[in-house]
Amino acid sequence: MLTDAARILLFPALMAFAASSDFFTMTISNRVAVALVAGFFALALYSGMSPQAMMWHAGAALTVLAVTFVFFARGWIGGGDAKLAAATALWLGFDHLMAYLLYASILGGVLTLALIRFRLMPLPTALAEQDWVKRLHNAGGGVPYGIALAAAALLVYPDTPWMRGG
């Protein structure tokens, strides 16, 4: 029963927190990635995942971390985005990684276009005084890509063994 609750709630709750945090602060705490990694291994061990399967999941995470590290070094994404993508890949494994990356790319493009459009519009006075709105509206600001990463993860997660119960 506890395992079922953790499977259903832990990953989606952390994804929602990461997205909302990135939306309001343009940062994703390291604690989110640490909680995802710790939660994965705790749940994997408790649910009886084989060591070989855990290693394959870790391989997916390390692959994504290597690629996103390069993206971070080039200034294309933030460090929190890189860690979130890698921690998400740990949960999804290679079996669901391509779908996740495809969704993240599409949703990230839509988010970026929507943000560009938003930044061209004048802000109503009530919104212009909100720090988080100012950050989003800043033409030189970044894109809270964690929103797209989290949304993509939530689109893929129902198809994973975590949600199928095995």
Instruction: Report the pLDDT value the prediction gives residue 166, as an integer from 0 to 100.
Output: 54
DSSP label at 82? H
**In the numeric block, which tokens belong to residue 149?**
């990463």
Q: One-letter amino acid identity for 110?
A: V
CA distances from 144 to 2, 62, 114, 147 (A): 33, 22, 12, 6
DSSP secondary structure letters along 13-64:
HHHHHHHHHHHHHS---HHHHHHHHHHHHHHHHHHT--HHHHHHHHHHHHHH
Boundaries of domain holding 50: 2-164
Alpha-carbon distance of 124 to 144, in angstroms, equals 21
Q: Quick one: DSSP state of residue 121?
A: S
Q: From first to last of its 166 residues, what are the pLDDT tens digits of the chain? A: 677 788 889 999 999 999 999 999 999 999 999 999 999 999 999 989 999 999 999 999 999 999 999 999 999 999 999 999 999 999 999 999 999 999 999 999 999 999 999 999 999 888 888 999 999 999 888 999 999 999 999 999 999 998 876 5
Please, are residues 88 and 18 in contact by the beta-carbon 8 Å criterion?
Answer: no
Q: Can you give the pLDDT at residue 1?
A: 66
Q: What is the pTM of this model?
A: 0.93
From 110, 116, 113, select the one nearest 138 (Cα to Cα).
116
Q: Could you give the CA distance from residue 162 to residue 7 in angstroms, rounded to a whole number?
A: 6
Which pLDDT score is estimated for 7?
82
Looking at the structure of the chain, the number of domains it has is 1
